[in-house]
Amino acid sequence: MRWAELQATKEQLQNPMKRIRVGKLIVNMGVGKAGEILEKAKRVMEQVLGQRPSIRKAKKTIRDFGIHQGEPIGLVTTIRGPRASELLKGLLTTKDMKLPSSSFDEFGSISFGIREHIEIPGVKYDPELGMFGMDVSVLLERPGYRVMRRKRASSIIGHQHRVNKEEAMAYFKEAFGVEVYEGR
């Protein structure tokens, strides 16, 4: 380990503003159709996440897929705070606590998919609802990111304060025990 990396880890332990945390967990489910299937997907998301999802509408008409502009075709839920970390642990078990390095981006975000919702621990199959897949995105941040998002006197977050890919990988290894491997 290089001297600069040792200094960075030592600084993170001493400075509370350098600690990384889960900013938000976003779970997305694209159904593709309105009606009964969307209502079933909504019940599945409420059952899995314990929170009511928001309905997303199609931005444009795609005739080949039978999608019309303004038609509800998906669901999304955003979870913040300590509940996000707890849910993330359960969602990571569906991936056997292994993520490819390609799931991490340069800004401290992680994305992965879940093929079937019944893979999540504690969720049982209901033949009435069927099976649905979902996409999970996690945004990592440090204290002070509010400066960028606030309405009055917003400012830029410096490069040294942003979470990068290596720090995100290290955080997931340390906090959740995730194994990060090369490849897809």
Interacting residues of 149 by C-beta distance below 8 A, sequence separation 6+: none
Work out the mean pLDDT of the chain and round it to a whole number. 88
Which residue's entry shows tokens 């025990």?
Answer: 177
153: tokens are: 């006197």
Q: Which helix (H) or strand (E) holds 87?
A: helix 82-93
In this predicted structure, the answer to whether residue 181 has a pLDDT above a threshold of 80 is yes
Contact (Cβ atoms closer than 8 angstroms) between residue 146 and residue 65: no
Q: Which amino acid is at 40?
A: K
Q: What is the pLDDT of residue 115?
A: 92
What average pLDDT does this structure show over 164-178? Answer: 92
Q: What is the pLDDT of residue 33?
A: 84
- Looking only at the bridges linking them, the beta strands covering 134-141 and 21-30 are antiparallel
Res. 121 pLDDT band, cuts 50 70 90: confident
Contact (Cβ atoms closer than 8 angstroms) between residue 19 and residue 140: no
Q: What is the pLDDT of residue 7?
A: 56
The CB density around residue 105, as the number of other CB atoms within 10 Å, is 13
Counting beta carbons within 10 angstroms of the beta carbon of residue 170, is it exposed (0 to 12), middle (13 to 18) or buried (19 or more)? middle
Comparing 61-70, 100-109, 169-178, the range with the smallest average pLDDT is 61-70
Class of domain 20-181: alpha beta
* In the chain, where the domains are located: 20-181
What average pLDDT does this structure show over 19-31? Answer: 93
pLDDT of 84-119, one tens digit each? 999 999 999 999 999 999 999 998 899 999 999 888
CA distance 1 to 12: 16
Which residue's entry shows tokens 């998301």?
Answer: 45
Buried b (16+ CB within 10 A) or exposed e, 48-59: bbeeebeeeebe
Comparing 2-6, 62-66, 148-152, the range with the smallest average pLDDT is 2-6
Q: What is the pLDDT of residue 6?
A: 54
In this predicted structure, the answer to whether residue 4 has a pLDDT above a threshold of 70 is no
